[in-house]
Structure 1
Amino acid sequence: MPRFPLPRSSLAPSCALLTLTALAGCAETPKPSPRPVQTPVAQYRTGPGPVGADDHVPDFASRNFVPFNRQDVPAIAMREWRMFGSPVDDDDPEARPDAAIPALKPERIPGLWQRIGEYWWIGQDPYETEVNWTGKTDADGTPFAPENDGRYAWSAAFISYVMRVAGANDRFPYSPNHSTYINAAVSGQSPGLRAHDPATYIPKLGDLLCVGRGRSKTVTFAMLPTSYGFPAHCGFVVAVNQNAPPFGHELSIIGGNVDDAVTLTHVPTSPTGALIGDDGKIIDNRYPWAVILEVLYDADFEPGAGQ
């Protein structure tokens, strides 16, 4: 699969991101929580299970050394993207070939398979089997064949990891499946998410763009919430209001397990930043975006950023 450098104009922070950085020092720094925030420790089909302190989560996140904020989430996602070599893929996902040498998938190479293990370990509820998975081994530490990596898909684990480390704590439904938090947002059961129809909402930095995968690619906002789990994919919006190759007006998202890596994708938009064109249809012919999840942050900026 060809990869190309991110265009210089796209690498430059957007106006919105520059504004966040410039104003970061304006907010007053709150005091951290005296103890970790309690979150569910296991998943239950009937709803959240028992709660407790999750010792897999770093203290700075579970005690909110800084408020859960819109500046940190894109920054954490971009940090992970750089760790994987800053790959960019704007090809149609239906046309992406498998890796020529499966053993050389980024998720399986030294240093990165362990990092994916951290996505599972930190992102998932601590009593779940998935917390012990890595980029190439199951819960018992047994390597699985590269061609079976679909059984250990980690894109939702990546989203959960970023939200945990950013300090979302009990306001996000952590799960190995994107549909869990999509359905929770649409049904109003997640205090940290608000679901929007892509036809009526313009994405902001730190929001999540979500789409169904495979047979579920036909899932639309009107069909949500579903009474069942469905394959999906979501990515964090890390830049907006861009005017650069390959689409001109565009935004950028970062998601996990795209080409077996943390990968950036450009998304075409209208001049106003909307995903819908004048004809009322999704502009992006690769992704029929089903829902935009607005993340309800406690602050737009990290107090004292860079100090």
Structure 2
Amino acid sequence: MRKLPLLLVLVLGGCVENHAPPFANLPYEPFSRTDAVAIATREWRLWGSRVGEAPDYTQSAAGMAERQPGLWQRVGEYWWEGMNTGEPDAAWTGKHDARGQVFPVARNGDYAWSAAFISYVMRIAGAGPAFPYAPDHATYINYAARAALGKIRDPLLIAENPAAYAPRLGDLACIGRGKARGLTFAALPTAYNFPAHCGIITGGGPGDVDIIGGNVDDAVVLEHVATDATGHLDNWLVILRVLYRAN
């Protein structure tokens, strides 16, 4: 009898809980910071290698990168591959809801995809089921905070105080937004969801780090963020130390 392809075996066995390709699900190679940084950097280049600009909140739908041909589909891939099976958000794109209907620009905030971007990068880099994939950053911030308290067995993320831990390549730097702008590291984990933004550390030099994040001015953007003399990030909520299996 001819052997079934491995992916089909996994599907029939009920082991596949996402839409990722076999090389990420198995994974073919150990989950590494090198791969995570390379994937985030690749996506940044795909979006035009933009370096931090002030967001233009007055631009029209026609000018938004996430709604451009080739890019709205890429956002859809972040949702589809980054989310677990059954997550309604997995069907979204950069301009469509789960029914394939174009949503108005005024509702862009309801379809924010920065957490989907991080989930995509971690998934494709081979993080496997250990990463808490989610459509919002608060889910994995709180996961990492619980892990720091010893409440998660064999965690993949550990929350670190930005005042005491200098981020490494591949770590995630997170900041509160909106009503959570005043949230502090000491308040984590929270018993509620909150608005936030996380990006992945991809480089840097003396006095700064490079952070790539999604849905920054409706694109994937690299920002140069200043650090203090010891490499710590000032005024950030938390650093999520990623426990890669390899460098």
The residue number in structure 1 matching 2:17 is: 54
Structure-1 separation of matches of 2:95 and 2:31: 31
Structure-2 separation of matches of 1:103 and 1:90: 19
Contact 2:44 2:220 in 1 (8 A): yes
The residue number in structure 1 matching 2:3 is: none
Question: Which aligned pairs between 1:171-182 and structure 2 lie closer than 5 A?
Answer: 171-182=130-141
Are residues 1:110 and 2:74 paired?
Answer: no
The one-letter code of the counterpart of 1:255 is G
Structure 2 residue runs of 5 or longer lacking an equivalent are 1-5
The one-letter code of the counterpart of 2:78 is Y
The one-letter code of the counterpart of 1:229 is N
RMSD (Å), alpha carbons: 1.7
Deviation at 1:54, TM superposition (A): 3.1
Contact 1:117 1:131 in 2 (8 A): yes
Deviation at 1:271, TM superposition (A): 3.0
Select 2:180's aligned residue among 192, 207, 216: 216
The residue number in structure 1 matching 2:104 is: 145
The residue number in structure 1 matching 2:159 is: 195
Select 2:191's aligned residue among 203, 223, 227: 227
Deviation at 1:196, TM superposition (A): 0.4
Structure-1 separation of matches of 2:203 and 2:146: 28
Q: Residue 158 of structure 1: SS of its match in structure 2? A: helix
The residue number in structure 2 matching 1:261 is: 219
CA shift in 2, pair 1:58/1:99, >3 Å: farther
Cα displacement string for residues 199-238 of structure 1 (whole angstroms, at most 9, x for unaligned residues): 1101000000001001101111000000000000000000
**TM-score when normalising by structure 1:** 0.73
Q: Residue 240 of structure 2: SS of its match in structure 1? A: strand
Deviation at 1:186, TM superposition (A): 0.3
Structure-1 separation of matches of 2:172 and 2:218: 20
The one-letter code of the counterpart of 1:107 is E
Structure-2 separation of matches of 1:141 and 1:181: 28
Select 1:274's aligned residue among 225, 228, 232: 232
The one-letter code of the counterpart of 2:50 is P
Structure-1 separation of matches of 2:18 and 2:231: 40
Select 1:125's aligned residue among 81, 84, 88: 84
Runs of at least 4 residues of structure 1 off by over 2 A?
A: 99-103
Contact 1:69 1:166 in 2 (8 A): yes
Structure-2 separation of matches of 1:52 and 1:124: 15
Structure-1 separation of matches of 2:20 and 2:82: 8
Contact 1:179 1:230 in 2 (8 A): yes
The one-letter code of the counterpart of 1:292 is I
Deviation at 1:274, TM superposition (A): 1.8
Deviation at 1:170, TM superposition (A): 1.4
Deviation at 1:64, TM superposition (A): 1.1
Count, aligned residues: 233
**TM-score when normalising by structure 2:** 0.90
The one-letter code of the counterpart of 2:225 is V
Cα displacement string for residues 167-210 of structure 1 (whole angstroms, at most 9, x for unaligned residues): 00111100001000000110113710011001110100000000
Q: Residue 108 of structure 2: SS of its match in structure 1? A: helix
Structure-1 separation of matches of 2:32 and 2:43: 18
Contact 1:102 1:147 in 2 (8 A): no
Structure-2 separation of matches of 1:229 and 1:104: 31
The residue number in structure 2 matching 1:278 is: none
Structure-2 separation of matches of 1:122 and 1:55: 7
Contact 1:103 1:146 in 2 (8 A): no
CA shift in 2, pair 1:158/1:267, >3 Å: same
Select 2:200's aligned residue among 230, 233, 236: 236
